[in-house]
Structure 1
Amino acid sequence: MADYYQGSCHCGAVRFSFEGDIIEKGLRCNCSICTRKGAMMSSQAIPSEQFKIQAEEGALGLYQFGAKTAKHYFCNRCGIYTFHETARFPGHFRANLGCIEGIDPLSMEYDLFDGKHLL
């Protein structure tokens, strides 16, 4: 079963939307960047053709490190991590569940991905 989701950064300069499975569980990763940002991500990897991004000019920031395969996006204005393009599934996104309207990531169960030992 699919549902429609909308999300944004804190100030609203970066917005996104997608259609996907009903979100019942999140995903946490123990790699160095995910541990530091502390966000819970969508467990599903969303294909780019289903993931719509709207950002005010100059608002969407990009951070990459290491092999620079993953693309971590954030708002240049308020600093909130909104979503990222995955290293394991290029062309697919995971969203920060804390940015999605109607989702309470603090009340959700989650799986742990061992990104720390991936490479």
Structure 2
Amino acid sequence: MKKLQGSCHCGAVTFTSESKHPYPYQLCYCSICRQTDGSGGYAINLAGSSDSLFIQGEENISIYQAIIKNPEDNAPRVSNGRRNFCKKCGSMLWLYDPTWPELIHPFASAIDSDLPTPLERTHIMLDFKPSWVVPNFGPRDKKYGRYPEESIEEWHKRLNLEC
């Protein structure tokens, strides 16, 4: 287990969470991640244990539930994911989705502790990448138009990166 320590830019919110899967390997190009957290055209999400989450400054957190508008859907829908951000400075902190209640997904941009360097990266939601974003694909990187079948846990196991 690796202890992730994170904060918002203004310091009003700090948090910690334990992670068995701390490698920042997955770059998400969906409009939600890109527009709420990704200045480079993508956001990087990690995995942490929700039951180990400790927050200071919780009163400074707001939650955003995005509207999902996939081209094949008949109508937009509200995402289950709850994006937690600092209501003072706007920093995105983590995503919590009740579909996986044991997890939180901190944004790598909010993590203050050192993170390990991934051996390869997984680029997801490339179907939603805008034309101005030019991905930097490494030789071992995986690329997906939507979501991969391989989970965060499976990715770590495949590369023998268990903490």
Correspondence for 2:57 among 43, 55, 58:
55
2:97 aligned residue: 86
**Displacement after TM superposition at 1:111 (Å):** 1.8
Note the 1:39-54 alignment, pairs <5 A: 39-42=43-46, 44=47, 46-54=48-56
Displacement after TM superposition at 1:72 (Å): 0.5
Matched, 1:16 2:15: yes
Query: CA separation in 2, counterparts of 1:34 and 1:20?
Result: 21
Pairwise CA distance, 1:69 = 0.6
Contact kept? 2:6, 2:113, Cα under 8 Å = no
Q: Which amino acid aligns with 2:27?
A: R
Moved more, 67-76 or 81-90: 81-90
Instruction: Name the counterpart of 2:133.
Output: none
Count residues with an aligned counterpart. 113
Deviations, residues 14-72 of structure 1 (Å, cap 9, x unaligned): 11101123633332222221122213111x3x232122222253x10111123231000
Percent identical pairs in the alignment equals 29
> Over the residues paired in the alignment, what is the CA RMSD in angstroms?
2.7
In 2, Cα distance between the equivalents of 1:9 and 1:31?
A: 22
Whole-angstrom distance in 1 between the partners of 2:52 and 2:124: 23
Higher relative contact order (CA 8 A, sep 6+): 1
More strand by share: 1
Matched, 1:5 2:16: no
Please state how far the C-alpha of 1:94 moved relative to its aligned partner.
Answer: 0.5
Separation (CA, whole Å) in 1 of partners of 2:97 and 2:58: 23
SS of alignment partner, residue 24 of structure 1: strand
